[in-house]
Structures are given as structure tokens and as C-alpha cells.
């Protein structure tokens, strides 16, 4: 039987990127001592007030259909968060709640893009972007980030990539996989391109609260950008809620009804008890959240210090998010082969960064998702593999 052409556009290298992770998970389920650093799901527990709010919602009977765009209390909480954190004054009516940021990105792409459109995204990109853009029928145009400047934007290359078919630019800051946090001057230059060429900007801000030295800036607050920017975010990383699947878009008012229509036919509302918990998550800054951010910084510092001592590899110090990129080109192995051998011979699972795009070839992505003792052990095992390659 024949499948649609969509199956080709949503498959490929991005979908295959997770093969090593799935294999590592299966070995871990069999009881093997595998250190899983291949997915952005940290080991923190969801803060207890959030869990209790969910349980209360269940007991109160909030188990029926909910508003397609999200419960009013949650939409208001998201709008307040955007105003406080990004300095963008938005109304709750500009918020549409989705099942995670991935679902929100998919909805934004389908509502903005048509077959024949082009979408510019800095390379490396998060592995699902290509499929999300492909599902809409549009074409992804990769613009390499500047490796020499630590994977920051090459603004001249970005401008040169714009054609009459360009419909949107897709940005992710803090960036996955590199951990780069875009500076205000970089964002202002992107905003100028969007205004000059009448482009949409899709701003993926999932890691907005997880920055270290460089603060996050939302491009939506820049002059002339609110009406052409779709902010996508979620609670997955900021509140240790990856499995809760709470994400959202913040969009210009005239786009919201279209996003709501898509949510209607694709999702039909997020569970009410989950939204009760999400509203509590956004209501206050808890000690647990502060401790999580401090711990991620400590993990980053530990891993970067340890990896810097290993001959034949180079660690890139991230400015945000929860990953460290490791340049392994001097080992003589491809990223895929390095990751395969690290799992097979040393029981550590990392993600080959080739799947993020050509600019990331020769790198692996390490998640700061286990405690410091486990991370230290993982660094020992990486050193053992690198050392064996140097001897060989």
C-alpha cells in the first residue's frame, strides 16, 4: 500500500538521530549500568507544589474537555511570565496552549508556511526542525553558525540566504545543541532583516530561564517585532516537567484563531488537571527551581573542567541550556562512530551531533541530566575512549 509523501519529509537523519539513545535505554532497562546523557530530560523531580496541584485538580473533577486555547488561568499566567521575563506586554488572548513546545512549533509551521516557501534556520538546528518545516511543505534553508566565534550567528550569511521565497526565520536561544545565547545586537540585526523583508520570526525560547552568564532576550520585545514574532516555549526544561507536555505559543492576535483551529482538530484541549498544575508552576519562583538552575551550572562547570583535561577532544562551554558540545574530530572517528563506541565499550550514551546539521559534524552532545557523581564517571569513561584512540 502507498503512503503519502509526508512520510519522506518527516523521516531522515533527524528521526534516526535517536537510535543510539533508544538502544541505550533498552540496555538500561535490562539492568546494565548505562549513563544516559543523550536526551534533554534531567533527573530533577517536578517540584511538589506542582504535583499537588495536579492531584487536587484530579480530585476536584477537572477531567473533562477544556478550552481549545487553554484554561484562562493558565493563559494569564503565561502572559504574566512573558511580561516579567521578556519585557513583552502581551494579553492572555495571545496565548494558545499546546501539548509541549514540539506541538506548538508544529502548529506554528502549519499556520505560517506553504509549499514553496523557504525557512531560514541557523545550522546546527534542533533535530526536529527539518521535519516540522517539511511537514508544512516548505523548504529548510540552513545557514551555518560561525564555529570560529563559538557558534554565534554569521549575520552576513543570514542576510545572504534571504530570497523572494523566504517566509520566516526560525531561531532558538538559548540554543540546542550549542548552548549559545544570542546577544541583543545579534537579535536586533535579525529583527532588522525581518522588518526589511517582511518575514515571520519563530522564536523557540524553551531554555529561556536556563542561562548562565549571558541573559536571555526575547526578540519579540524589539521594535516592530511583536506583530511578526511567534514565541514558542514550555515548562519541560524550566520546571522538570518533560513528561507533562505543557507548551504554548505567544502570537499576534490575528494569528491566534488559526492556531486555535489547528488545536481543535489536532489536540482538542490539554487535560484540565495538567493545566491546573501548570498554572501553579508559573505562579511563583520556588526554592526548588532556583536550586535546579544552580545545580545545572555546577554540572556544566564540572563537565567542562573535566573534559578540558582530555587530550584529543575540545569542550565548548555553553552559555545556556543543558548540553555540552564536545569536538572529537582529532580522535579520527566520526561523531556516529565515537558515540557508538562510547556506548558499546564504556556504557555512556551521547548524541552524535551530525543529526543537527553539517556545521556540527565531528561533535557529540552531552546532556547535563544526571548528578555530578555520574557525570564525573561519564567523563572518566570518555577519557578512557579518547585515550585508547590516541594510543591506537
Q: What is the pLDDT of residue 59?
A: 97
H or E element that contains 363: strand 363-367
- pLDDT of 248 reads 98
pLDDT confidence of residue 17: 66
Tell me, letter by letter, the H, E, C secondary structure of 146-183: EHHHCCECCHHHHHHCCCCCEEEEEEECCCCCCCCCCC
- Report the predicted TM-score, pTM, of the whole model to 2 decimal places: 0.93
pLDDT for 287 equals 82
What pLDDT shows up at residue 346? 96
Encode the chain (392 residues) as per-residue pLDDT tens digits. 878 877 777 766 655 667 888 999 999 899 999 999 999 999 999 999 999 999 999 999 999 999 999 999 999 999 999 998 888 889 999 999 999 999 999 999 999 999 999 999 999 999 899 999 999 999 999 999 988 888 999 999 999 999 999 999 999 999 999 999 999 999 999 999 999 999 999 999 999 999 998 899 999 999 999 999 999 999 999 999 999 999 999 999 999 999 999 999 988 999 999 999 999 999 977 788 889 999 999 999 999 999 999 999 999 999 999 999 999 999 999 999 999 999 999 999 999 998 899 999 999 999 999 999 999 999 999 999 998 887 55
pLDDT at 1: 85
The domains located in the chain, with CATH, are 6-45+287-391 (3.90.1150.10), 64-281 (3.40.640.10)
Of 250, 206, 260, residue with least CA distance to 226: 250
- pLDDT of 16: 65
Phi, psi of 265 (to 5 degrees): -90, -10
At 30 the three-state DSSP class reads coil
Q: How far apart are CA 235 and CA 258, in angstroms?
A: 23
Q: Tell me, what DSSP letter sits at residue 134?
A: H
Q: Where are the beta strands (DSSP E) in the chain?
A: 35-36, 95-98, 118-123, 139-144, 166-172, 200-204, 229-234, 247-250, 314-316, 323-327, 348-349, 351-352, 363-367
pLDDT of residue 391: 56
C-alpha cell, 318? 555553553
Nine cell digits for residue 235: 515548562
Amino acid at each position: 500500500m502507498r503512503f503519502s509523501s509526508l512520510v519522506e519529509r518527516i523521516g531522515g537523519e533527524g528521526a534516526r538521530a535517536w537510535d543510539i539513545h533508544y538502544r541505550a535505554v533498552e540496555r538500561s532497562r535490562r539492568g546494565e549500568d548505562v549513563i544516559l546523557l543523550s536526551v534533554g530530560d534531567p533527573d530533577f523531580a517536578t517540584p511538589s507544589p506542582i504535583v499537588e496541584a495536579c492531584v487536587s485538580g484530579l480530585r476536584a473533577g477537572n477531567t473533562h474537555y477544556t478550552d481549545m486555547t487553554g484554561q484562562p488561568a493558565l493563559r494569564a499566567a503565561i502572559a504574566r511570565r512573558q511580561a516579567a521575563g521578556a519585557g513583552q506586554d502581551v494579553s492572555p488572548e495571545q496565548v494558545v496552549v499546546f501539548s509541549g513546545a514540539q506541538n506548538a512549533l508544529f502548529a506554528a509551521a502549519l499556520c505560517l508556511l506553504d509549499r514553496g516557501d523557504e525557512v531560514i534556520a541557523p545550522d546546527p538546528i534542533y533535530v526536529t526542525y527539518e521535519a516540522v518545516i517539511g511537514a508544512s511543505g516548505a523548504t529548510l534553508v540552513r545557514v551555518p553558525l560561525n564555529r570560529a566565534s563559538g557558534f554565534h550567528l554569521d549575520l552576513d550569511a543570514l542576510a545572504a540566504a534571504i530570497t523572494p521565497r523566504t517566509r520566516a526565520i526560525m531561531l532558538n536561544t538559548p540554543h540546542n545543541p550549542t548552548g549559545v545565547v544570542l546577544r541583543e545586537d545579534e537579535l536586533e540585526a535579525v529583527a532588522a532583516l525581518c522588518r526589511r523583508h517582511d518575514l515571520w520570526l519563530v522564536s523557540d525560547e524553551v531554555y529561556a530561564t536556563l542561562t548562565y552568564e549571558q541573559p536571555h532576550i526575547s526578540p519579540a520585545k524589539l521594535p516592530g517585532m511583536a506583530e511578526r514574532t511567534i514565541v514558542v516555549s514550555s515548562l519541560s526544561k524550566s520546571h522538570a516537567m518533560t513528561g507533562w507536555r505543557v507548551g504554548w505559543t505567544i502570537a499576534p492576535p490575528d494569528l491566534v484563531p488559526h492556531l486555535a483551529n489547528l488545536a481543535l482538530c489536532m489536540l482538542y484541549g490539554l487535560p484540565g488537571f495538567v493545566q491546573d498544575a501548570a498554572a501553579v508552576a508559573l505562579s511563583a519562583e520556588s526554592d526548588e527551581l532556583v536550586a535546579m538552575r544552580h545545580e545545572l551550572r555546577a554540572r556544566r562547570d564540572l563537565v567542562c573542567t573535566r573534559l578540558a583535561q582530555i587530550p584529543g577532544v575540545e569542550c565548548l562551554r555553553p552559555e545556556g541550556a543543558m548540553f555540552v558540545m564536545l569536538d572529537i574530530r582529532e580522535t579520527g572517528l566520526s561523531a556516529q562512530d565515537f558515540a557508538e563506541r562510547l556506548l558499546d565499550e564504556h556504557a555512556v550514551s551521547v548524541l552524535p551531533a551530525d543529526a543537527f546539521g553539517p556545521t556540527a559534524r565531528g561533535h557529540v552532545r552531552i546532556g547535563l541530566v544526571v548528578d555530578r557523581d555520574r557525570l564525573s564517571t561519564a567523563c572518566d569513561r570518555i577519557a578512557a575512549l579518547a585515550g585508547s584512540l590516541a594510543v591506537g
